[in-house]
């Protein structure tokens, strides 16, 4: 600390406009931003459900049956409908942002955004098919 | 410490976001809706156990649970900052969010490796 800096014991009053906690309802694009951020809750929720499923399978056939029965309750079904919509919203916004987050160049030329996003959607389709194949064949 | 971890946390955020985007819609539609609503027959316990005996499936399921948990923790942390203006609680919120993701990862690993091979 240089001795040149002298602080007064009185704190100045900052000029700061108070922002409401509901600032994100003022404009459509803000609302979309906050809804996209809230997809994190749905993603974490379904990760926890998957964790529960794995623990039930590891615990044995009865635990697995109990877990399946719980998934069929109105509470879980309605939570899953909402979570599915949010997860879809996450996936679509994620793929559409991919070309901007990761610029791909081939021979010095930038690969068009539509192709990068298209590859993401293609991978989504293939992997969804693979998940369905493994879970439905037995 | 949080500052030094930040690049790594962003890496987990994007890895988890990609995993969640590519795989969660299919898993959620099947496990959360199609099986309980009776649209499709859920896999038997035996089929799932056979799948989970394979080391590659265990790694897949661990990544399927852990990475999206870190993605969610990271994004939710910033949602709390921006949405509820809780910037003064940075350390507490970060500890709770990433702590929960770590705990979920540990529980998943423990369950997966408790399955006899």
> What is the average pLDDT value for chain B, to the nearest integer?
93
Tokens of A11: 């704190």
Please write the tens of the pLDDT for every residue from B58-89: 999 999 999 999 999 999 999 888 777 777 88
Residue A58 lies in a domain: yes
* Cross-chain residue pair B71–A43, CB shorter than 8 Å: yes
Task: Return the CATH number at A69.
Answer: 1.20.1300.10
Q: What is the spatial distance between Cα A89 and Cα A8, in angstroms, rounded to a whole number?
A: 52
Residue A119 lies in a domain: yes
Query: First vs last Cα of chain A: how many Å apart?
Result: 72
Q: What is the spatial distance between Cα B17 and Cα A90, in angstroms, rounded to a whole number?
A: 8
ipTM of the complex: 0.94
> What is the average pLDDT value for chain A, to the nearest integer?
90
pLDDT confidence bin for A67, thresholds 50/70/90: very high
* A68, closest residue in chain B (CA to CA): B36
Domain count across chain A: 1
Among residues 70-99 of chain B, which lie with CB inside 8 Å of chain A? 71-76, 78-79, 82-85
Q: How far is CA B100 from CA A32, A42, A48, B14, B106, in A?
A: 26, 15, 10, 18, 10
Higher local confidence (pLDDT), A100 or A59 = A59
* Cross-chain residue pair A91–B40, CB shorter than 8 Å: no
Over residues A104-125, the mean pLDDT reads 91
Q: Is B31 on the interface with A (CB under 8 A)?
A: yes
Q: What class has domain B6-32+45-112?
A: mainly alpha
């Amino acid at each position: 600390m240089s001795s040149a800096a002298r602080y007064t014991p009185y704190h100045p009053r900052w000029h700061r406009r108070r922002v409401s906690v509901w600032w994100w309802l003022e404009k459509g694009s803000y609302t979309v931003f906050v809804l996209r951020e809230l997809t994190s809750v749905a993603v974490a929720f379904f990760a926890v459900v998957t964790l529960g499923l794995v623990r039930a399978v590891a615990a044995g056939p009865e635990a697995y049956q109990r877990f399946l029965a719980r998934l069929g309750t109105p509470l879980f079904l309605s939570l899953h409908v909402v979570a599915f919509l949010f997860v879809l919203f996450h996936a679509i916004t994620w793929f559409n942002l991919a070309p901007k987050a990761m610029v791909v160049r081939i021979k010095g030329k930038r690969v068009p955004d539509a192709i990068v996003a298209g590859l993401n959607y293609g991978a989504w389709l293939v992997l969804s098919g693979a998940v369905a194949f493994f879970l439905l064949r037995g | 410490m949080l500052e030094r971890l930040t690049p790594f946390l962003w890496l987990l955020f994007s890895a988890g976001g990609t995993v969640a985007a590519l795989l969660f819609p299919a898993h959620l539609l099947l496990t959360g809706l199609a099986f309980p609503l009776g649209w499709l027959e859920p896999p038997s316990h035996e089929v799932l156990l056979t799948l989970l005996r394979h080391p590659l499936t265990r790694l897949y399921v661990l990544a399927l649970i852990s990475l999206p948990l870190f993605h969610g923790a990271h994004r939710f942390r910033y949602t709390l900052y921006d949405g509820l203006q809780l910037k003064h609680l940075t350390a507490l919120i970060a500890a709770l969010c990433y702590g929960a993701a770590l705990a979920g990862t540990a529980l998943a690993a423990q369950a997966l490796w408790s399955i006899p091979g």
